[in-house]
Structure 1
Amino acid sequence: MSDARRTDQLTLVAFMQASNVSVYSGSWRYPSNTSDYLDLRYYQRIARVLEEGRFDLMFFDDRLAMPAIYGDSADEAVRYGARPIKLDLTAILGAAAAATEHLGLGATYSTTYYEPFHVARTFATLDHLSGGRAAWNVVTSVNDAEARNFGVDQHTEHDRRYDRAEEFIEVVEHLWDSWEDDAIVADRESGVFAEPDKVHELNHRGEFFSVRGPLTVPRTPQGRPVIIQAGQSGRGRDFAGKWADLIFTGDPSQAVAAEHYAQQKEIIRAAGRDGDQVKILPMVYVIVGETEAIAREKESVFLNELVHPNASLALLSEVTNHDFSGYTLDDVVTDELVDSISGIRGLVQGVKRHIGDQPLTLRVLANHRATLLQGPRFVGTGRQIADQMDDWFQSRSCDGFVVAATHFPGAFEDFTRLVVPELQSRGLMRTEYTGATLRENLGLARPANVFAERGEVVGV
């Protein structure tokens, strides 16, 4: 690798929850964490902080059920505040759009429990009303609790979910393209509003979906909203390589991140795409203080005092779709256990890379879902954290970061106040937004319209 410094800049995404907690499930107990998460002004306040910090994107994770696999009940999640609240994101994104001018706005919508037309219209509308700042995180959902909220007894098998997702996203992208950019002429004198030959039906009939189209929303400022994906399995990485503009990763260390980065870029190129047009962003926790001692004291509180063990097990059960209520925290995670649970292998492999040779117990594994052990931690002063981010970026371990908050809104306020100026002084971050849309601020090209390129398309 060349010793020359990279000439591009970090991409920064803020990891949000429309919930009683941040991605760190004990955040509601932290003394300075605010509790007005049922008020739109809460999300608007955080959005303004992120825009002041020149973040690229405010991104909301989502689930379609409470964590209710543990003991076949949501009781422990409710009792210990382990993400029992998940608000619908439509109103929140609209409020954040109204409070900001440049910040990207991303949300998670499932390809398993929604329909392509609904998702296409939701994000196309957001893209228009925000002036081109929408992003869709494509997920296939994770567990039986979500399935039961949508009239299904059991969650669909992993590869089958991705089969549906492939067709889903192809239909959505064609719906976004169903109006050509110059379809609307609005000629008052002739009375012609739009050219019918530039507004296209899909007439799609596939294995999972039948969609006629066109979409009821014209083509958007970005052409298509930005696509986010975070699949970690082999199928998930291939899916991301084919479709995603931003790929979120959960690598436990810089060495693993660098290896993942190189592999994922190859997958992107093998899919016939430009690797430089896809950003790979690991999730990290940032704990910053005016001194390193202050930051380390905060870290100790977050690691040791705020998350109940049963909350950790409830969240582990949620993500693996396996009920761990019959186990103890000191049970060792054996090969036999891994073989018996389809949703756990990738998590176990990642955690083992993180902890080295020490025995992997359920306590350790569960803590990786609920506490700061889940990803790398950058802890220290603003300068020390900027040093760590700079090192990851220059070593091509990432193209930027998904910054996970320990608490709201203080974690992002501290980052904006103490870390951002250090990154800006090194040329790693913008001092002002220069693009009109999220794609422009990310340095991503505006996609061509498939109908305009190929002529009328019948079926997808």
Structure 2
Amino acid sequence: MSRPQHFGWFLARGFGPHGWGHPYLDWNYRWTEPALYQESVRTLEQAGFDLLIIEDAPSLGSPATIDLRVRQAFGGPKHDPLLLAPYLFAATQHLGIVPTVNPAAYLPYTAARQFATLQHLSGHRLGLNVVTDTGSARHFGTAPPPDHDGAYDRAEEWLAGIKALWNSWPEGALIADPARGRYADGTLLGHVQHRGDYYGFDGPLNALPFTDGEPVIVSPGGSGRGLGFAGANSGVQLALAPLDRESISAYRAKIHAAAVEAGRAPDDIKILFAIQPVIVSSAEEADRVVAASRDPDDAAIAYIAEKQSSDLETDLTALDLDAPLDLSVFGGHVSQGSIARLVGKHDVTTTPLSTLLAAHARLGRISDRTGFVGTAGEFADLIEELGDWGNDGVLIWGDLHPVTVHRILDELVPILRRRGILRSDYVTGGLRANLQAF
């Protein structure tokens, strides 16, 4: 029997046009309405998943690249995932829901009160995927956006302020005793006064304290500063790394060291590696899919160029595909991690841009660990192997269309359950309790 792991779903498109560009658009779900998402989260909960993380970007990007972002709906439109969350909580009983939030978009007092409200409404199943993107700064004021490390400084202050407000009701302040005729003792409430580099506000918070812990913080950052933020604050780390033993061990060691440096235990953070599988019916079909991707045509390369242009907010389609990529085309708002994913292991000074793009069109087999095309059994083998290396769990990366969810999970869930990798039931106490159950 293999060791159990945690499973989550990363909704990579965000609260956006699900089905666009795919044949299953003709299922006629309306992406702006909750039914599509509610159907899928019920399936995730039936499957024993711990959480759903909903990607978001509040901005359509810089004026020069808006068309790149919306022409194929890669980067927008997106609606607010925080407002979708109550509909998903109403459709489930155990699944954690983790909308993406940006400190630039929410003042700490407002954020603390809204998040506390959702934590209570959900039975303590709220998580917060805290991102430090500065590309949307122009929507929230006229001050120049902070640099990379400054954005993390702001996020640290923001989160510390929110936690101070959450804790402004100490033990004993809430009485709620009808026999005594006393609801609360206001003399015990903490009079928070915060005056920082980025925010100023007063407390106490006009919301109840939590019975089963604060919302779980999730973070995706891979830089040194990002890993430090995770070590100090996160309950879940969204991890991107090559899925070989050496890379996974090295990544986990960095997260654990950051946790220890912040005075926490390594097991306080569950590290979930993101994978985008292509599940097919047989090994022969997997071989055909991989073979068909080896020599991408011009249309496939153009599609990748548009998608990468949206992600990087830089028009790659206007560049010379036969020339090496000049990294100076990227502005300071583009993350180094995103650029590194585009370049991969190639020498950027000598490799033509078309070669970089073609590499993203090519697929590999799960069975030989060159990619993620394979049968449900082969994908389960990979997950089991990760568990043998001490892995905490997996985030399946994809849209939340019911067709996608069932295509990946219908055969996979029974296999994982039979092997003892995937939970069959939940514990009480909300998202935090289920993450710490093993």
Tell me the TM-score range normalised by the shorter chain: 0.7 to 0.9
Correspondence list, 1:121-140, <5 A: 121-140=113-132
Of 91, 97, 103, the residue aligned with 1:105 is 97
Q: Give 1:357 deviation, angstroms.
A: 9.7
Q: How far apart, in 1, do the equivalents of 2:418 and 2:230 lie?
A: 33
Q: Give the stretch that moved more between structures: 115-124 or 255-264.
A: 255-264
Structure 2 counterpart SS, 1:112? helix
Task: Name the residue aligned to 1:13.
Answer: 8
Q: How far apart, in 2, do the equivalents of 1:110 and 1:369 lie?
A: 29
CA deviations 1:372-428 (Å, max 9, x no partner) are 89x9843222211100011122123x3111111267222221333211211111111
Q: 1:307 to 1:402 in 2, by over 3 A?
A: farther
Of 213, 227, 237, the residue aligned with 1:223 is 213
Contact 1:322 1:341 in 2 (8 A): no
Q: How far apart, in 2, do the equivalents of 1:274 and 1:231 lie?
A: 19
Contact 1:287 1:377 in 2 (8 A): no
Correspondence list, 1:23-422, <5 A: 28-33=20-25, 34=27, 35-68=29-62, 72-143=64-135, 146-152=136-142, 155-254=145-244, 255-295=246-286, 312-313=304-305, 316-317=308-309, 319-320=311-312, 322=314, 324=316, 326-334=318-326, 337=328, 343-350=334-341, 354=345, 360-363=351-354, 377-396=371-390, 398-405=391-398, 408-422=401-415
Q: Give the stretch that moved more between structures: 417-426 or 60-69.
A: 60-69
**Which structure 1 residue ranges, 5 or more long, are not aligned?**
446-460
Contact 1:282 1:402 in 2 (8 A): yes
Q: Give 1:259 deviation, angstroms.
A: 1.9
Instruction: In structure 2, give the amino acid aligned to 1:282.
Output: F
Q: Identical aligned pairs, as a percentage?
A: 28
Task: Name the residue aligned to 1:451.
Answer: none
Q: Give 1:148 deviation, angstroms.
A: 2.6
CA deviations 1:79-100 (Å, max 9, x no partner) are 2222321111233110000000
CA deviations 1:402-460 (Å, max 9, x no partner) are 11126722222133321121111111111111233111110179xxxxxxxxxxxxxxx
Instruction: In structure 1, give the amino acid aligned to 2:164.
Output: H
Q: 1:234 to 1:421 in 2, by over 3 A?
A: same
Structure 1 counterpart SS, 2:192? coil
Q: 1:369 to 1:83 in 2, by over 3 A?
A: farther
Q: 1:314 to 1:156 in 2, by over 3 A?
A: farther
Structure 1 counterpart SS, 2:276? strand
Contact 1:338 1:345 in 2 (8 A): no
Q: 1:82 to 1:191 in 2, by over 3 A?
A: same
Q: How far apart, in 2, do the equivalents of 1:408 and 1:425 lie?
A: 26
Give the TM-score, by structure 2 length.
0.86
Q: How far apart, in 2, do the equivalents of 1:118 and 1:83 lie?
A: 27
Q: 1:208 to 1:32 in 2, by over 3 A?
A: same
Q: How far apart, in 2, do the equivalents of 1:120 and 1:306 lie?
A: 49
**Which structure 2 residue ranges, 5 or more long, are not aligned?**
none
Q: Give 1:345 deviation, angstroms.
A: 3.5
Instruction: In structure 2, give the amino acid aligned to 1:438.
Output: L
Task: Name the residue aligned to 1:457.
Answer: none
Q: Give 1:101 deviation, angstroms.
A: 0.4
Q: 1:164 to 1:29 in 2, by over 3 A?
A: same
Q: Give 1:258 deviation, angstroms.
A: 2.9
Give the TM-score, by structure 1 length.
0.82
Q: Give the stretch that moved more between structures: 307-316 or 421-430.
A: 307-316
Q: How far apart, in 2, do the equivalents of 1:409 and 1:286 lie?
A: 16
How many residue pairs match? The answer is: 429
Q: How far apart, in 2, do the equivalents of 1:301 and 1:28 lie?
A: 23
Q: 1:204 to 1:318 in 2, by over 3 A?
A: farther
Q: Give 1:42 deviation, angstroms.
A: 0.9
Q: Give 1:43 deviation, angstroms.
A: 1.0
Structure 2 counterpart SS, 1:80? coil
Q: Give the stretch that moved more between structures: 341-350 or 43-52.
A: 341-350
Structure 2 counterpart SS, 1:48? helix
Q: How far apart, in 2, do the equivalents of 1:321 and 1:240 lie?
A: 26
Structure 2 counterpart SS, 1:63? coil
Q: Give 1:184 deviation, angstroms.
A: 2.3
CA-based RMSD: 3.4
Structure 2 counterpart SS, 1:402? strand
Task: Name the residue aligned to 2:431.
Answer: 438
